[in-house]
Structure 1
């Protein structure tokens, strides 16, 4: 289907707003700046979005959707559960690394409470957690992972996603890019040993 005129204008708005947010952040970017960037009047901008915060939400959602699509496609191409988890981790790291400027802006804006986009992260976390849960179920069903993991699927996927997100955030906010992929591969190797262990221990 050919995109409609409205779709094209919305895409123009998000593309130019994305550039401005990356350069100046949310606080310093105005609706007038965005309108000038797309060569339209502010009235046109307000027809599609009620505020720059709503545009910011849309930009972040677009970036998150792009990252998730890349990750999901990589996971689907992998044949084993182990390779699927590796694809999940490394693809999302590479995807976010490409968008690191906006990633830092988003975190700074949230910390400064300029605009709360926590709900977007919550939705994204839910999608990633569900994807990891499906990978774990696949690994359990084909014998790659310890079958006892089935009893922990209510919590394990979210723990894994949260752990990786924390490591990722530290690496990006502190600019620890050196040997990023090899470090994540080492972490994945440790994680895999735990998932495959046939002698899982429980502690009272």
Structure 2
């Protein structure tokens, strides 16, 4: 049976190795040495270096989503919830981009990795936004819509904010007022639903 604490230890030490050496130069031997584990242990938990790297990036994404979830609640308005959601995510992304600048460079070189990870984890974002929308309908902040429309709207909000995040961090096309731009997009969508 796989030990979660061993996997987490490997991930935490791998973050440091990828940050120091970059994805291209890292080998499974480097990860084994840094984690103090044998190669057989690494391969028990991960198929290859790419699998470790994906797990490292996914781990940071899930931590970010967890903090975003903690920032929203039923008593907030839809605007407050979406503001907190985008603000928390943006602050964490800025922090991660600074802390793991080498990893960000590697992601820019191989955006397919980020796309794969994003497709695997974006449901967390969508479910969170759906919940915020349902709270807003309950409180009559926005016009009631069908379940399929809520699902689509949550997907649209997540897609819009994710696209802006990519423009900011991967393509560096947006450098000023990043939070205001993310907020503007979400407020535009919500205003269209208000009574």
TM-score (norm 1): 0.78
Question: Residues 96 and 73 (structure 1 numbering): CA distance in 2 closer, same or farther, change over 3 Å?
Answer: same
Question: Residues 93 and 149 (structure 1 numbering): CA distance in 2 closer, same or farther, change over 3 Å?
Answer: farther
Structure 1, unpaired ranges of 5+: 199-204
- Post-superposition Cα deviations, 1:13-52, rounded to whole Å, max 9, x if no partner, equal 1112112223433332100111222234433433433322
* Superposed counterparts of 1:24-103, under 5 Å: 24-76=21-73, 79-100=76-97, 101=101, 102-103=103-104
Pairing 1:123–2:124 present: no
Question: Residues 149 and 168 (structure 1 numbering): CA distance in 2 closer, same or farther, change over 3 Å?
Answer: farther
Structure 2, unpaired ranges of 5+: none
Question: Residues 68 and 103 (structure 1 numbering): CA distance in 2 closer, same or farther, change over 3 Å?
Answer: farther
Question: Residues 64 and 165 (structure 1 numbering): CA distance in 2 closer, same or farther, change over 3 Å?
Answer: same
Paired position in structure 2 for 1:156: 153
Question: Residues 191 and 33 (structure 1 numbering): CA distance in 2 closer, same or farther, change over 3 Å?
Answer: same
| Equivalent of residue 165 in structure 2, options 141, 163, 168 | 168
The CA distance in 2 between the partners of 1:181 and 1:174, in whole Å, is: 16
| Equivalent of residue 178 in structure 1, options 173, 176, 193 | 176
Once the two structures are TM-superposed, the CA of residue 170 in structure 1 deviates from its matched residue by 0.4
Is the contact between residue 78 and residue 87 of structure 1 (CA under 8 Å) also seen in structure 2? no
Question: Residues 172 and 135 (structure 1 numbering): CA distance in 2 closer, same or farther, change over 3 Å?
Answer: same
Paired position in structure 2 for 1:202: none
The CA distance in 2 between the partners of 1:77 and 1:106, in whole Å, is: 35
Question: Residues 173 and 61 (structure 1 numbering): CA distance in 2 closer, same or farther, change over 3 Å?
Answer: closer
Question: Which of the two has higher C-alpha Rg?
Answer: 1
Give the 4+ runs in structure 1 shifted more than 6 A.
Answer: none
The CA distance in 1 between the partners of 2:181 and 2:115, in whole Å, is: 28
Name which structure has the greater RCO, CA cutoff 8 Å, separation 6+.
2
Farther off after superposition, 18-27 or 86-95:
18-27
Paired position in structure 2 for 1:145: 142
Pairing 1:110–2:107 present: no
Once the two structures are TM-superposed, the CA of residue 60 in structure 1 deviates from its matched residue by 2.0
- Post-superposition Cα deviations, 1:104-157, rounded to whole Å, max 9, x if no partner, equal 53343234xxxx564432232222112212211211221111235767224221
- Post-superposition Cα deviations, 1:46-105, rounded to whole Å, max 9, x if no partner, equal 343332222122212211210110111111375222211111221111122222233553
Pairing 1:193–2:191 present: yes
Q: Work out the number of aligned pairs and report it.
A: 189
TM-score (norm 2): 0.81
